Amino acid sequence: MFKHAAVNSEEELYKRIKANDKSAIKELYTAYIGFLSAVCYRYITDKDDAKDILQNSILKIITKINTFEYRGDGSLKAWMTKILVNEILDFIKHKEKSNIFSCDTDIPDMEDEYAPQTEDIPPALIQEILRQMPLGYRTVFNMYVFEQKSHKQIAQVLGIKESSSASQYLRAKRLLAKRIKEYKEKRKEENK
Amino acid sequence: MKQDWTNQLRDKMAGYEEPAPEGLWDEIEKSLDSIPKNKKSHKTALITVLKYSSATMAAVALCLIGFFFINKRNYDHSYRTSSNMISEPANKNIAISKNSNISVYNNILASAKYVNIKKNTSNPNTYSAEKDFSRNILNNEVYTELPTKKEEKTDTIKSISGKDNTTNKKEYNYPKHYYNNTALAGNLHHVENKWDFNLYVSNIPSQEINNNSYSSLLMAARNNNSSMDICYGLMNDPIPGNKYNYETSDPLLNVQSNSLSKENKTKIKHKQPVRFGITAKYSLDSRWAIETGVTYTYLTSDIYSGADANNYQSKQKLHYIGIPINAIYTIWNNKIISVYISGGGMGEYCIDGKLTTDYTIDNIVESSADENIKDNHIQWSINSSIGFQYNFLPHCGIYIEPGASHHFKDGSDIQTIYKEHPTDFSLKFGIRFSIK
pLDDT tens for each residue of chain B, 436 residues long? 445 688 888 888 888 898 988 889 888 888 887 654 344 444 445 555 555 555 555 555 555 555 555 555 544 444 443 434 444 444 444 444 444 444 433 443 333 333 343 444 444 444 443 444 444 444 443 343 344 444 444 444 444 444 444 444 444 444 444 334 433 333 334 333 333 333 333 332 333 333 332 222 222 222 333 333 333 333 333 333 333 333 333 334 433 333 334 345 567 777 777 777 777 777 788 788 887 888 888 888 887 776 556 677 788 888 888 898 988 888 888 878 888 898 999 898 888 888 887 777 666 666 677 778 777 788 889 988 888 888 888 777 787 888 888 888 877 777 777 877 788 777 777 777 665 5
Mean of pLDDT over chain A:
83
pLDDT grade for A85, boundaries at 50, 70 and 90? very high
Chain B residues with CB-CB distance to A86 below 8 A: 309-310, 361-362
pLDDT value, residue B282: 77
Question: Could you give the percent of chain A with pLDDT greater than 90?
Answer: 26
The pLDDT of residue B366 is 66
**Residue ranges of B 5-44 with Cβ closer than 8 A to chain A:** 5-6, 8-10, 12-13, 15-21, 24-25, 27-28, 31-32
Look at residue B222 and give its three-state secondary structure. Answer: coil
Residues 225-264 of B with CB under 8 A from A: 252-253, 255-256, 259-261, 263-264
**Mind listing the pLDDT tens digit for each residue in B355-413?**
887 777 666 666 677 778 777 788 889 988 888 888 888 777 787 888 888 888 877 77
Q: Do A38 and B255 touch (CB under 8 A)?
A: no
Q: Which residues pair with B4 in a beta bridge?
A: none
Q: Answer yes or no: are the C-beta atoms of B145 and B177 closer than 8 Å.
A: yes
Q: How far is CA A94 from CA A43, A88, A99, A127, B307, in A?
A: 14, 10, 11, 24, 10
DSSP category for residue B183: I
Band of residue A36 on the pLDDT scale cut at 50, 70, 90: very high
CA terminus-to-terminus distance, chain B: 88
**Cα distance between residue B48 and residue B422, in whole Å:** 8
pLDDT of the residue at B66: 57
Q: Does position A146 have pLDDT exceeding 70, yes or no?
A: yes
Q: How far apart are CA B265 and CA B225, in angstroms?
A: 55
pLDDT of residue A191: 82
How far apart are alpha carbons B87 and B332 in whole angstroms?
24
Question: Is pTM beyond 0.80 here?
Answer: no
Closest residue to A63, CB basis, from B10, B17, B256: B256
Helices (H), B271-348: none
Q: Give, rounded to a whole angstrom, the gap between the first and last alpha carbons of chain A.
A: 57
For B365, residues 6+ apart whose C-beta sits below 8 A from its C-beta are B358, B359
Note which residues in 355-374 of chain B have CB less than 8 A from chain A: 355, 357, 359, 361-363, 366-367, 369, 371
Tell me what pLDDT residue A93 has. Answer: 82
Size of interface A-B (CB pairs under 8 A): 143
Integer Cα distance of A174 and B393 in angstroms: 89
pLDDT at A81 over 90: yes
